[in-house]
Amino acid sequence: MSGTRAGRVALVLKGYPRLSEAFIAQEIAALERRGLECLIVSLRHPTDRRRHPVHAEIRAPLLYLPEYLTREPRRVLRAWQRVRRWPSYAAARALWLRDLRRDPTPNRVRRFGQALVLAAELPQDVARLHVHFLHTPASVTRYCALLRSLPWSGSAHAKDIWTTPEWEKREKLAACAWLVTCTATNRDHLAALAPPGRVELVYHGVDLARFPPPAVTRSARPARDGSDPADPVTLLSVGRLVEKKGTDVLLEALARLPRTLHWRLVHAGGGPLRAKLEQRARNLGLGERIVWRGALAQDDLLGEYRAADLFVLASRIARDGDRDGLPNVLLEAQSQALACISTAVSAIPELIENGVTGLLVPPDSADALSQALAALIGDPARRHALGAAGQARVDAHFRLESNLERLAEKFGLPASHAAERTQAA
């Protein structure tokens, strides 16, 4: 089912802008270039001090909802006094109360309050709501859409899919007009809970204008093999320091490498486990071999991808069920012909074919990861071959432009000139 191009689309996000959600920002910017008129609605104010360059390109105005209702009580009260008189209010309130009985939490109360504010303040020219993430942002969106009698659609990603109760996923999938998700693994899971045809696969893709392939003169990396302590192999890992990224497993794997191999690790990404992981690295005797860069903007990340010899991401399923979908950092690394080692979790095998475009190991296995690292640290020729094959796969199947076409169509945008040429051929 495609959307109808009439009026603006309100894009509802949990937080904006966020460094960890560059994939959302690049999608918004690309849709704007295609002619989509947007309003960005954020449930939270930004906490990151830095921004990606793509954020400066986005023209859409911003509407921040009250993050905590007690901080803006007059705004919430004004919205309720206005909305409670609408004919749609009784049905929306009944829906919320039914949800609250099954999920009696302050979070559920907060989401209805935010929905009241959004419904009251939403500009009249907004004709559709589209939400990123199927958990709390979709609750706000669903309540607001019912209050304003508007259609809504969504994009589901990772944590929102795997940590949301099944009853809630079923009801939201039944209520939305359509939903896209970024991996076949996600699609298959959600499609089993949804009406036929409701869920569709649309990969995020990587914007090769922001991650252009290295120039020919730089495409062949130095043939480091870990034998020279003065010229160690540079390993790179990018990801938030949270349980599902498996950085603790990576540290254990590094500690098991032969002492004859010389390497250094650069880690990019912030997160709540940083202090704990830095201490663990010191306890393992790795402290001087690891550089913790913190969260980086895309232009800085590009330099790190090009300077590295090998990329590693030890993704796992967290204890609460949270997991990666298809980490965009793997797409970015492979766009730079950087050989990758990761785990056979979720949708990562949709990108990496083990032994062909990278190496995959079981999650939570420090031994297997250590063996894979040792093999590639000492074999620059194989790293080069895997990196080249990974780059070719990204170029053929994971470009932003080709994957954006279907999403643009669902928003009612006309086909791009490139798509028209492809169809004519």
pLDDT tens across 186-202, in order? 999 999 999 999 999 99
Element (H, E) at 96: helix 89-102
DSSP letters along 7-73, please? Answer: SEEEEEESSSS-GGGHHHHHHHHHHHHTT--EEEEESS----S---HHHHH----EEEPPSSGGGSH
196 part of a folded domain: yes
Answer yes or no: do 386 and 406 share one domain. Answer: no
Q: Is residue 1 part of a domain?
A: no
| Domain enclosing residue 362, as ranges | 216-397
Both 201 and 254 in one domain: the answer is no
The answer to whether residues 184 and 221 belong to one domain is: no
Low-confidence ranges of the chain (pLDDT < 70): 1-6, 215-219, 417-425
Q: Looking at the structure, do residues 141 and 233 belong to the same domain, yes or no?
A: no
Q: Per the structure, how many domains does the chain have?
A: 2
pLDDT of the residue at 220: 72
Residues 414 and 352 reside in one and the same domain = no
| pLDDT tens per residue, range 330-348 | 999 999 999 999 999 989 9
What letter represents residue 332's amino acid?
Answer: E
| DSSP-assigned letter for residue 221 | -
Residue 92 lies in a domain: yes
Q: What is the three-class DSSP state of 329?
A: helix
113 within a domain of the structure (yes/no):
yes
- Are 384 and 274 in the same domain? yes
Q: What is the CA radius of gyration of the chain?
A: 23
Residues 25 and 152 in one domain: yes
Give the per-residue pLDDT at 425: 41
Residue 85 lies in a domain: yes
Query: Do 354 and 303 fall within a single domain?
Result: yes
Answer yes or no: is 210 within a domain. no
Judgement on whether residues 22 and 110 belong to the same structural domain of the protein: yes
pLDDT number for residue 6: 52
Does residue 175 sit in the same domain as residue 222? no
Task: Name 129's bridge partners.
Answer: 10, 152
Residues 233 and 284 in one domain: yes
Residue 15 covered by a domain: yes
237 within domain boundaries: yes
222 and 158 co-located in one domain? no
Helices (H) and strands (E) in the chain, counts: 19, 13
CATH number of the domain to which 390 belongs: 3.40.50.2000
Q: What is the pTM of this model?
A: 0.85
